[in-house]
Amino acid sequence: MLPMKPNQTLSAALPELRPEQSIDLLKELHILTRDGKLNQDTRRKLKQVYHLVQFIEPLLEEAESLVDHGAGKSYLGFILYDLCIKKRASGNVYGIETRAELVARSRALADKLGFERMQFLACTVEESLHDAALPERVDVVTALHACNTATDDAIRFALARQARHIVLVPCCQAEVAAEMRARKNDSLSRTPLSELWRHPIHTRELGSHLTNVLRCLLLESHGYDVTVTELVGWEHSMKNELIIASKRGAPRKNARERAESILAAFNIEALSSRFIY
């Protein structure tokens, strides 16, 4: 009998791991301890990783390019490359991040792991829209826990690059709530609906909800079918929403009209340029 490789040995000892997963990557991401073990917290974290991957993996079956926008430490990009891309003969993962030090760190880790078809760009949102290092048309765009308007930046990039699929996990959305708060007195005199956001906690929660509703309508207005579900396990909070959009048909005019009506009803027309284009 041939001896088992270290990766196979560890996979046999830890049935939660997939056979071809990079053990070194899991250690770098602190999913595995340095001695290759899972504790209760890291076992939960690994389960959360698999839960997210199950939504994205089918979208990558025929995809040649995935762009992780606002990548940070490129946690998601590395996981998807390891589980879905490296075993294939083709396919590239691109991480976009403004912080040069994080980009340098990701490049070093990709080199260490031999993940040759991962690239990392240190660029702004505006630069990413026209960067020749990125494919003119992108198959999948992801944005995991992109704070506040960073999710909107990822959507703008995805639409500009005609992405086939968009996967978003928004986080810490404050812009809409801030506009609602600034115009609260005017809104109170205009409509009884303003009672929905009269109290600060309601302003924050409703503003976050409205943000994602408007994002979904924007995507539908550009011809995407949108599914919204709960990303169980990543955060035990309201910031646990997963938006998956796939380009299917023609733009929906009524989605744009509904977004306009919502902006007017909540007295936040000043944000029209972010949610209607």
pLDDT in tens, 158-202: 999 999 999 999 988 899 999 999 999 999 999 999 999 999 999
Tokens (6 digits) for 275: 């949610």
Does the pTM of the predicted model rise above 0.85? yes
Three-state SS annotation for 148-167? CCHHHHHHHHHHHCCCCEEE
Q: Confidence band (pLDDT; 50, 70, 90) for 5?
A: low
- Check whether 1 has a pLDDT greater than 50: no
CA distance 89 to 264: 50
Q: Is 264 left (phi over 0), alpha (psi -120 to 50) or beta?
A: alpha
204-239 pLDDT, tens per residue? Answer: 999 999 999 999 999 999 999 999 998 865 444 456
Report CA torsion sign: 205, 273, 142, 165.
Answer: positive
Taking CA atoms, 11 is separated from 7, 24, 27, 76, in Å, by 6, 13, 14, 21
- C-alpha torsion angle, residues 173, 174, 179, 183 (rounded to 10): 120
* Pairs from 121-130 (Cβ < 8 Å, separation ≥ 24): 121/94, 121/95, 121/96, 121/97, 122/97, 122/98, 123/96, 123/98, 124/98, 125/153, 125/156, 125/157, 128/69, 128/96, 128/157, 129/156, 129/157, 129/160, 129/161
Going along the chain from its start, the domains and CATH numbers come out as 62-275 (3.40.50.150)
CB burial class (10 A; 0-12, 13-18, 19+) of residue 268? buried
State how far the Cα of 230 lies from the Cα of 240, in Å rounded to an integer: 6
Q: What is the pLDDT of residues 88-100, one digit of tens each?
A: 999 999 999 999 9
